[in-house]
Structure formats: structure tokens, C-alpha cells
Amino acid sequence: MATKPSLVAKISQQIPVLVELSKPKLRTFVRYAKVELTPPSPTEIPQIISGFTQLVKS
């Protein structure tokens, strides 16, 4: 089993690699999150209300 200092050294060497590998996926997530997680605009409120009323009726 590896000693703690050598394990820490190995992990610290892998961190930059993991960060570089995660950048494309994080970039894609942020792009979709900006669109999907924005609050509804005032023009979308009537559509939301009619959708909820249809859900309640069914």
C-alpha cells in the first residue's frame, strides 16, 4: 500500500489532468444551464398558467 505522502503526491499530480478533462463537459453544462434555468419571462406566464389549469382539470 502506498504511503500517505506518496498518495497525496499522486493525487496532486492528477488534479490538473482531471480539471482539463472536465472543462468541455462543464462548458456544455453551463451553456445549457443558461438557457434552461432562466426564470420565465412575463410573456410566458399566461402559457404556464394555462398549462397548470389543464393539469388540474385532468
With a threshold of 0.75, does the pTM exceed it?
no
User: What is the overall mean pLDDT for the chain?
Assistant: 90
Read off the pLDDT band of 23 (50, 70, 90): very high
Give the pLDDT confidence score for residue 58 in this predicted structure.
84
C-alpha cell at 49: 398558467
Provide the pLDDT for residue 2. 55
Please give the Cα distance from 4 to 10 (Å, whole number): 10
Position 1 scores a pLDDT of 52
Alpha helices (H) in 1-58, listed in sequence order:
4-36, 45-57
48 touches 40 (CB < 8 A): yes
